[in-house]
Amino acid sequence: MKKVQRYLALLLAALMVISFTGGCGNKQDVKTDAPESSALFKPGTYTGEGEGIHGNIQVEVTVDENKITAVKIIKHDETPGVSDAAIKKIPEDIVKYQSIAIDTVAGATVSSNGIIAAVTQALQKSGADITKLQKKPDKDDVASGEAIEKEADVVIIGGGGAGLSAAVSAHQNGAKKILVLEKMPKVGGNTIISGAAYNAVDPKRQKAQGIEDSVEKHYTQTYEGGDKLGKPELVRTLVENAYPGIEWLESMGMKFQDEVFTVLGALWPRSHKPVDPLGTGYIKTYMEYIEKNSGSIEIMLDTKATEIIMENGRAVGVKATGIDGEVVARANNGVIIATGGFGANVEMRDKYNKIWPSLTNIKTTNHPGATGDGYIMAEKVGANLIGMEQIQLLPMGDPETGSLSGNIEQGVENRIFVNKDGNRFVDEGARRDVMTKALFEQRDAYMWVILDKHSYPTGDTKNNFNETIDELVNKGRAYKADTLEELAKEISVNPENLVKAVEEFNKNVETKSADEFGRTLYKDKIDTAPFYAGARVPTVHHTMGGIEINTNGQVLDKSGNIIPGLYAAGETTGGIHGANRLGGNALVDTVVFGRIAGKNAATIK
Q: Which fold has domain 148-390+544-603?
A: FAD/NAD(P)-binding domain (3.50.50)
- Confidence band for 145, pLDDT divided at 50, 70 and 90: low
3-class SS of residue 212? coil
Kindly tell me if the per-residue pLDDT of 324 is higher than 90. Answer: no
Kindly tell me if the per-residue pLDDT of 166 is higher than 60. Answer: yes
Query: Which contiguous run of DSSP H or E holds residue 598?
Result: helix 586-603
432, 536, 581, 595: which one is catalytic?
Answer: 432
Mean of pLDDT values over 418-442? 97
> What's the rounded Cα separation, in Å, for the pair 582 and 593?
16
- Asked if residue 48 lies in contact with residue 28, where contact means CB atoms within 8 angstroms, the answer is no
Kindly tell me if the per-residue pLDDT of 2 is higher than 50. Answer: no
Kindly tell me if the per-residue pLDDT of 8 is higher than 70. Answer: no
Average pLDDT in the chain: 91
% residues pLDDT > 70 (the chain): 92
CB atoms within 10 A of CB 380: 11
- Confidence band for 36, pLDDT divided at 50, 70 and 90: low
Burial class of residue 362 in the structure, from the number of CB atoms within 10 Å of its CB (0-12 exposed, 13-18 middle, 19+ buried)? buried
Kindly tell me if the per-residue pLDDT of 312 is higher than 70. Answer: yes
**HSE-up of residue 71 (Cα within 13 Å, Cβ side):** 30
Q: Which fold has domain 394-539?
A: Flavocytochrome C3; Chain A, domain 1 (3.90.700)
Q: Kindly give, in sequence order, each residue whose CB lies less than 8 Å from that of residue 303, ignoring residues fewer than 6 positions away.
A: 181, 182, 183, 320, 321, 322, 323, 327
Give pLDDT tens digits for 119-141: 988 888 888 888 888 888 775 54
Q: Give bridge partners of residue 480 from the DSSP assignment.
A: 532
User: What's the confidence (pLDDT) of residue 111?
Assistant: 86
- Confidence band for 34, pLDDT divided at 50, 70 and 90: low
Question: Is 432 among the catalytic positions?
Answer: yes
Q: What's the predicted TM-score (pTM) here?
A: 0.82
- Asked if residue 469 lies in contact with residue 534, where contact means CB atoms within 8 angstroms, the answer is no
Kindly tell me if the per-residue pLDDT of 25 is higher than 50. Answer: no
- Asked if residue 162 lies in contact with residue 552, where contact means CB atoms within 8 angstroms, the answer is no
- Confidence band for 37, pLDDT divided at 50, 70 and 90: low
Specify the DSSP class assigned to residue 454.
Answer: T
User: What's the confidence (pLDDT) of residue 88?
Assistant: 87
Q: Which fold has domain 5-133?
A: Sufe protein. Chain: A (3.90.1010)
DSSP state string for 359-397: -TT--BSS-TT-S-HHHHHHHHTTB-EE-TT-EEEEEEE
* Annotated domain spans of the chain: 5-133, 148-390+544-603, 394-539
Mean of pLDDT values over 391-405? 95
- Asked if residue 316 lies in contact with residue 154, where contact means CB atoms within 8 angstroms, the answer is no
User: What's the confidence (pLDDT) of residue 7?
Assistant: 38
Give pLDDT tens digits for 218-240: 999 999 999 999 999 999 999 99
Q: Which long-range contacts (CB under 8 A, 24 or more apart) does 466-475 make?
A: 466/54, 466/79, 466/277, 466/278, 467/54, 467/405, 467/406, 469/408, 469/532, 471/54, 472/406, 472/408, 472/534, 473/532
User: What's the confidence (pLDDT) of residue 567?
Assistant: 98
User: What's the confidence (pLDDT) of residue 101?
Assistant: 85
User: What's the confidence (pLDDT) of residue 23?
Assistant: 33
Mean of pLDDT values over 67-88? 85
Give pLDDT tens digits for 589-604: 999 999 999 999 999 9
Closest CA to 198 of 261, 258, 277, 240: 261
Q: Kindly give, in sequence order, each residue whose CB lies less than 8 Å from that of residue 591, ignoring residues fewer than 6 positions away.
A: 161, 165, 198, 245, 248, 249, 282
- Confidence band for 39, pLDDT divided at 50, 70 and 90: confident
> What's the rounded Cα separation, in Å, for the pair 198 and 245?
10
